[in-house]
Chain A
Amino acid sequence: MSAATQYYIATILVFICVDVIASWGLDIQFGVTGVLNFAYILFQAFGAYVAAVLSLGSSSANGGFQHYLVGLTLPFPLPILGAMLAGAGLAALVGLITLRRLRSDYQAMVMLVISVVATIVVTSSIGLFNGSAGLSLIPNPAFTWGSFSRQTQTWFFVGFCVACMLVVGLFMYALVYSPFGRLLRGVRENEAGIEAMGRSATRARLQVFVIGGALAALSGALLAEFIGAWAPSEWLYPETFVFFTAVIVGGRGSVSGVALGAALVGVGVQQAVQYLPIGSDPTVLAAMEWIITGLLTLAFLWVRPQGLLPERRRRLSRRTRPEMNATALEKAIGT
């Protein structure tokens, strides 16, 4: 296999891992709990930024051509862990502002607004985040692992991403099938019922906000370390929509479904567009990606709102009335 083909495959694999992890984070919020977080991409971007500044070293390095805060050179897993912590922290902050008092449709709007504001602030404050130019030369940690060739080291990083994805996947299964997962589905389907049983729906929403924020940050950190650059124009608010599509196509609340959806929508659509007979004008290709993503969402919401691999409907036991559960679920998700 030629070096270019190898790099192509490695890139696709890393993108799949990143998209799957990010979609799982959104799935906990939107799929399982029913929180409409239109600012989701913000947490991925923030994770990428934090991972970058924790590994880039002082901002006067390389002739000081880019400006940023902090600037440390932490050893390998620490920038990623720091990014997750920072993502969780930012999510807690945003969640505390938006989730406590606002009506849920206002929540969604305010998230959208926050996402847009964040982009404006980032692009116009050069001292903070180097403006619209973004950061570059973010070191890939795998390039310091042993004295192998770059190619081998790239594969090491792919392996690390896959390992991260597997760990997050196990965590997702554990979470979804735990009593906490049951609480979250309860918040989605019958908030009043959850409150009546003495549990706080707001608290549950805040918790998934933080968990999702950390996962988004993890995915952003992996992506930034792989491609070595970070620019705010890559994280505009419509990008969140790609993850929403992934969750809807895969199946809201279904761990394996969302993974499939993320691979298909996040990476599949982008690759498929290049084989369409529409020429190679980059504007048309990019536009086509969005059009296909939008059409996929509409098609799935119409034909198969439960997604490709639907969430398994849980029943109390054979002696209770199972049809109660099924219809309640259908009503709640609005299928």
Chain B
Amino acid sequence: MSEFVSALGFGVVTAAILAISAVGFTLQFSVTNVFNLAFGSVMTISGFVAYWLNQLGLDIWLAMGVAALCGGLLSLAINELIYGPFIRHGLNLFGMVIVTISVGLIADHSLQAVVGPSFFSYNAPAGKAVNLAGFVLTRQELIIIGIAIVLTGLVQVALQRTRTGRAMRGLSVNPALARGCGVPVRRVIAIAWFVSGVLAAVGGVALFLDISTFTATTGSEFLIVIIAAAVLGGVGSPRGAILGALVVGIVTEVGAAYWNPELKDVLAFGVLIVVLLVRPQGLFSQLATERALAR
């Protein structure tokens, strides 16, 4: 029983990290329909920004804040300088997937050429362990869970209550109509990329804290799990992404406790494939039609 509870605790931490990243991934996708496979690279590069600041003596949570800003700007820059021009150049949805893979590979390997193949870790104490109704979590893990709740909650509220949030939802349902109603499309898309980058950076730093050692490709390797969570919830639905993150996080950690830990990701993907066979549009998405790129 205690084994199950502690596995559940790990699962919630993994789910929190996944939720931050998956919401960022899916929010951007719902607005622009660009399946951004360079998302993991934004996570890694921001994670390394936090690492360098941390090495200079900055507290890891402050470093995470600065990295979040960098991640947002990086994500925005990638869209303004590469994706945007390619979309306006007339590339279709699948062409854009290839473009995002290229950008991801270039970014990852440029970073690798700079930092080398070695392992890195932050200089941050995990903090005292806290016992919460049977869950034993470190202070660090509790902060990560808190950040996840606050950030995903903020995104939800912003999507429902603010003008920009409504414009994003409008763009994701019907870009032409949204444009016709006077939504400043380019600005809203830019905001979506920025927010996505911020969430990627926070998710990246949280991930690196959680798994304690990382390399130049850790973010891109984790991206597959993020995609599994996002697709599970229905790509383009932030609420679905949170649920998908919970399912994937808990299934993988509980699976790791009772089965082969090396195969824990296989379980997540198994869940994903079964869900997609039963419900091809994901758990929450209503849209099952082909969608066009928002320009």
Contacts and interface: CB of A to CB of B under 8 A. Distances in A.
Given A109-B231, A290-B109, A293-B105, A298 B97 contact: no
Given A238-B105, A284-B113, A293-B105, A113 B224 contact: yes
Interface string B21-34: 00000000000000
B133 interface: no
Contacts of A301: 86, 91, 95, 98-99
A290 B110 CA distance: 9
Given A101-B277, A120-B266, A241-B101, A109 B35 contact: yes
Interface centre among A97, A121, A294 (most CB of B within 10 A): A294
Given A287-B109, A334-B95, A121 B263 contact: yes
Given A120-B262, A248-B98, A287 B112 contact: yes
A294 B103 contact: yes
Interface stretch (B57-65, B200-208, B268-276): B268-276
B117 A113 contact: no
A328 interface: no
Contacts of B82: 298
Contact of A106 (B106, B109, B231, B289): B231
A112 B105 contact: no
Contacts of A283: 112-113, 116-117
Contacts of A13: none
Nearest to A36: B94
A205 B260 CA distance: 36
Interface residues of B, number: 46
B113 A120 contact: no
Contacts of A284: 113
B106 A295 contact: yes
A117 B117 CA distance: 23
A288 interface: yes
A167 B90 CA distance: 37
Interface string A277-294: 000000110111011011
Contacts of B113: 283-284, 287-288, 291
Contacts of B95: 301, 305, 334
Given A121-B263, A121-B266, A287-B112, A108 B106 contact: no
Interface residues of A, number: 43
Contact of A298 (B99, B116, B273): B99
A140 interface: no
B218 to A, nearest CB: 14
Interface centre among A103, A301, A335 (most CB of B within 10 A): A103
Interface in B68-126: 82, 86, 89-95, 97-99, 101-103, 105-106, 108-110, 112-113, 116-117
Contacts of A288: 109, 113
Nearest to B287: A103
Chain A interface main SS type: helix
Contacts of B99: 297-298, 301
A117 B91 contact: no
Contacts of B262: 120, 123-124
Chain B interface main SS type: helix
Contacts of B86: 301-302
B112 A106 contact: no
A238 B110 CA distance: 15
Contacts of A110: 231, 272-273, 276
Contacts of A104: 290
Nearest to B216: A287
Interface string A108-131: 111011101100110110000000
A91 B225 CA distance: 23
A53 to B, nearest CB: 22
A34 B263 CA distance: 32
B184 to A, nearest CB: 26
Contacts of A121: 263, 266
Contact of A290 (B97, B105, B224): B105
A117 B99 CA distance: 23
Contacts of B265: 116-117, 120
A97 B91 contact: no
A113 B227 contact: yes
B110 A113 contact: no
Interface in B117-151: 117
Interface in A24-42: 34, 36
A159 to B, nearest CB: 35
Contacts of B92: 333-334
A117 B269 contact: yes
12 contacts: A103-B289, A108-B94, A110-B276, A113-B224, A244-B98, A283-B112, A283-B113, A287-B113, A298-B99, A301-B99, A333-B92, A335-B90
User: What are the nearest 4 A-B pairs in CB distance?
Assistant: A334-B92, A287-B109, A124-B262, A294-B106
